[in-house]
Structure formats: C-alpha cells, structure tokens
Chain A
Amino acid sequence: MSKFKKKKGGDLPAISTASLPDIVFMLLFFFMVATVMRDNSTMVENKLPSATEIEKLKKDRTMFIYAGKPSSQYKQFGTEGRIQINDSFVDLDAIQPAVYEYIGTLPEELKDRVVVALKVDENTNAGIVSDVKQELREANALKIMYVTGQKKEE
C-alpha cells in the first residue's frame, strides 16, 4: 500500500518538436539579415596577394579603390591595368575628387581617420599603384591599406 506507485510502463514522453520550426526560422532570419550580397561588382581581375603581417580593416572609414586588368567581359577596355572606383573605370585625375566626396559622407569624428584600401590584382604592374599613391598624397589621404589575403605560415 505504498503511496508511491510505480508508473505503469517506463515510456518517456515524446519531446515536443512543435517549437523546432520557430527556432530554425529564428536562425534563418539571422542569416538572411547577416548575408551581404556583394554590393559592387568588380570590373577588374582581382586576385589579391597574400601576406602575414596583416591588420583588420575598419569598414566604417574605408574607401575602396580597385585596380587590375579589366576582366573578361570588359575586354574592350584593353589589357592594361585600370583603376576602378565605385562602379566605373576612372582615370588618375578622378581619384582626388572621389576621395573628397567619400570623406564628405563620413561622420565628423572619422573624417581625419579615413583609410583608403587598395585592392589590387597581384599580377598588375606596381607602377599604377605608385601613381595612385601619388594622387592620394595630393588628396592628403595618407593612410592606406594594401588589402591582402592571409598567407599560411609554413
């Protein structure tokens, strides 16, 4: 006559999976929001060189300049290295106005910390890079970053 009767059958109750879709949807929305579809397509070949001594880039104050050979669907622009800013090929003398324009869009506290990131194809001639750097010096945007991949240390 014990108070504690053994339950009949030791079956565990089935775990309810009703909230599983909710959890999965939550994750789904997170990844949907976090996914950035590339906002600008590169019109130049862009195989970055790799290096070991690298630092992180701060996206909030960075302007990108691409350079390299025009990629296959832009063959009509020749095979010489070209500079791309935003979504078009530009000449050297368009760099300075582009830099000023970008600085103008930055919030006040970042205006003097602007970084110019150079995404240059590794097979390009270094001459074009030094031309770009000269223009940046004249625009007084002195912090530059050579964007590279991470090289595996052997």
Chain B
Amino acid sequence: MAKRAAPEVNAGSMADIAFLLLIFFLVTTTIEKDKGILRSLPPIDDSQTEPPIIKQKNLFTILVNRDDRLLVEEEEMDIKDLRQAAIDFLDNGGGVNPEGESCDYCRGKKDPESSDHPDKAIITLKHDRETTYGRYIEVQNELVAAYNFLREREAQRIFNRSFASMLEEKEKNQFNKDEKLNADIQRIKDMYPMKLSEAEPDKS
C-alpha cells in the first residue's frame, strides 16, 4: 500500500472564525456596574424619650404630593430650584450651634429667620404613598447634591482638594486606615452633617 501524505488543512480561515466569535462576545458583554445614591436609614428607637423641640426656622420642610408636585416651606417650588433653596437654607448660619459657636465658614445671608447653624439645620422630606418613585429619587438627588456642593466647597477651601477625591482615596485603602485622611473627611462631614429626616407617609 502506498503511503499517502495527509493533506495539510488550511488554517487560514481560523482567524476569521475566531474574530467572528470575538466580535459576538464583545458586543454581548456588558460589564455592568450598578451605581446609585447611598443613604443610611435611622435605627429603630424604642425609647420613649420626648423628641427635642426644634425651632421651625431650623426645619426645611419638603412635601411631595400624589401629583408629584413639591411644596417647600409652604410654597410651591419647581424641582430645579430645590437644590439652591436647600443650599441657601443649610448655609445660612444666622445663629449659633448648640455649643454657642456661630458658623464662621457659612457664606449664606445670615438671615435670622432661616437656619441657625448647619449643625442644627434639618431637612424633612415627606411624600405621599402615591408619589412616583422617580420623583422621590429626583428630590433625594437634589438634597444630596446640596450637601455635596457645600462639602466640596469646604474641602477645596481647607484642604485644597476635592472631597470626592478624598473619599476615593479612603475607599482605595479601606483595609489599612489612614487616620489623618479619615479625620479630615470627618471634619468636613461634621461641618455640614447630613440631617435629612424622612417622615412616614400617611396610611390611607
């Protein structure tokens, strides 16, 4: 029997086939990264202590009704004005904090009719059960944006860097703590503590 040499298979089209598959997977891959607004819920408090009395001027009341309209401090407001209104309220600094210090970093109008000190300023948000979630998130977003704006401003003033970059650095070394950085972040946070209370919607 004659020994026949096996014919060589042409592998030239192998690259084409592989490319085809590659392109398919490239297109279908979604390297998904979820993002969102991070918030903390208040822990449940069973103690029967009287809630402290808060002066009306230190409260910034936002109501969202079932038609998604906003009532801010008893006036109707458009969502796009909410951020500035919240910044003005938080940054007002018209009085003193519980320790009796006045707010020397606030740049607001120092209106005695508005909030005393960022330490005391509280934003309360109440929504109806039938408010759409989309609108609720919009409102949350504007309020978080107001706090972030003020914290960013102070971080630039004191540390000459952005607050976001500080948080990022903290995140990167989360398992070996940098005490100084943490203290700096805490200092900024304490200047404008996020006091955002949410009322339970009425049961109907």
Residues of A close to B138: CB separation below 8 A: 49, 51
Known contacts A51-B137, A53-B144: A142-B36 contact under CB 8 Å? no
Contacts of A25 in B (CB 8 A): 18
Given A24-B18, A123-B134, A127-B201, is A34 in contact with B11 using a C-beta cutoff of 8 Å? no
CA distance A142 to B28 in the complex (A): 35
Distance in Å: Cβ of A7 to nearest Cβ of chain B: 28
Name the interface size band of chain A: 35 or more
Given A31-B26, A134-B200, A146-B37, is A120 in contact with B42 using a C-beta cutoff of 8 Å?
no
CB-based nearest B residue for A62: B34
Please tell me if A71 contacts chain B, counting CB pairs below 8 Å. no
B130 to chain A, nearest CB (A): 5
B97 in the interface (beta carbon within 8 A):
no
A17 contact set on B, CB distance < 8 A: 15
Cα–Cα, bound, A53→B169 (Å): 18
Q: Cβ of A86 < 8 Å from any Cβ of B?
A: no
Cβ–Cβ contact B140 & A146, under 8 A: yes
Is the pair B37, A137 in contact by a Cβ cutoff of 8 Å?
no
Q: Which of A56, A59, A144 contacts B39 (CB 8 A)?
A: A144
Complexed CA–CA distance, A118 and B38 (Å) = 10
Does any Cβ of B come within 8 Å of A2's Cβ? Answer: no
CB within 8 Å of B: which A128-146 residues: 129-130, 133-134, 136-138, 140, 142-146
Main secondary structure of the interface of A (DSSP, over half): mixed
Determine which of B14, B32, B201 lies in contact with A126 in the assembled complex, contact meaning CB atoms within 8 Å: B201
Minimum Cβ distance to chain B for residue A64 (Å): 9
User: Which of A31, A54, A59, A122 is B134 in contact with, Cβ under 8 Å?
Assistant: A122
Contact of A117 among B36, B40, B133, B134 (CB under 8 A): B36
Query: In the complex, what's the smallest C-beta–C-beta distance from B63 to chain A, in angstroms?
Result: 12
Chain B contacts for A142, CB-based, 8 A: 40-43
Contact A137-B31, Cβ < 8 Å, known A24-B18, A28-B21, A126-B201: no
Shortest Cβ distance from A79 into chain B, in angstroms? 14
Q: Is the CB of A27 within 8 A of B22?
A: yes
Question: Given the interface contacts A21-B14, A127-B130, A134-B200, does A117 sit within 8 Å of B34 by beta carbon?
Answer: yes
Q: Does A15 contact B (CB under 8 A)?
A: no
- A-chain residues with CB within 8 Å of residue B131 when the two chains form the complex: 125-127
CB distance from B71 to the nearest CB of A (A): 15
Q: Check A88 for interface membership: any CB of B closer than 8 A.
A: no
- As a 0/1 sequence over residues 117 to 154 of chain B, the CB contacts with chain A under 8 angstroms (1 = contact) are 00000000001111111111110110011001000000
Q: Given the complex, which residues of A lie within 8 Å of B127, measured CB to CB?
A: 126, 130
Q: From residue B26, how far is it (CB to closest CB) to chain A in Å? A: 6
Known: A127-B129, A129-B133, A133-B41. A56 touches B201 (CB 8 A): no
Q: Cβ of A21: which chain B residues have Cβ within 8 Å of it?
A: 11, 14-15, 18
CB-CB nearest 10 A-B residue pairs: A127-B129, A122-B134, A31-B25, A51-B141, A147-B36, A24-B18, A57-B34, A49-B137, A126-B136, A145-B36
Cβ contacts A to B, 14 pairs, < 8 Å: A34-B31, A49-B134, A49-B138, A51-B141, A52-B145, A59-B34, A117-B34, A123-B133, A129-B136, A140-B44, A143-B39, A146-B37, A148-B37, A148-B137
